[in-house]
Amino acid sequence: MSTERKRSILVVEDDSLFLWTLEHFLKQEGYDVCPATTAELALEMAQRRSFDVVISDYHLPGLNGREMIEQLKSLSPCTKAVLISAYQKDETGGNDGRLLSAYLNKPIELGSLKKVLQDLTTPPIEAPRP
């Protein structure tokens, strides 16, 4: 039996059908997924537990996804953040690297999301020491 811990992902999306699709896809990929429909709910969840990755839509009611990620990172600086949006990067503040680990435009391809998450959640391989 594997002792490897499931990677935890907080998914923040106000479109219930898209949220359901992401949640079920990520669970099939072996992630521990927590869904939230608002930024405020996501921040409440992040106060109770830590997440390896947060995936958030940019356009949310109340705080936008970027604002929510900024607040979440103050609670959990090691959490990786993926912002998804139908807007272009320059309309959402882009991907500055300090805040976001990745930026995906909608409609997203699940294969692209899978690759991004593999890159973010796979620990680097250490080279053997001579």
List all residues 6 or more positions away from 37 whose beta carbon is below 8 Å from its beta carbon: 12, 13, 14, 16, 19
Single out the residue of 54, 40, 63, 43 nearest to residue 7, CA to CA.
54
Under the banding of pLDDT at 50, 70 and 90, the label for residue 122 is confident
Residues 22-49 have pLDDT tens digits of 999 999 999 999 999 999 999 999 999 9
List all residues 6 or more positions away from 36 whose beta carbon is below 8 Å from its beta carbon: 10, 11, 12, 42, 45
28 C-beta neighbours (distance < 10 Å), count: 10
Under the banding of pLDDT at 50, 70 and 90, the label for residue 121 is confident
Residues 48-101 have pLDDT tens digits of 999 999 999 999 999 999 999 999 999 999 999 999 988 765 554 555 567 899
Residues 86-114 have pLDDT tens digits of 876 555 455 556 789 999 998 999 999 99
In angstroms and rounded to an integer, the radius of gyration of the C-alpha atoms of the chain is 15
Q: Which fold has domain 8-120?
A: Rossmann fold (3.40.50)
Contact 76, 52 (CB under 8 A): no
* 3-state SS class at 75: helix
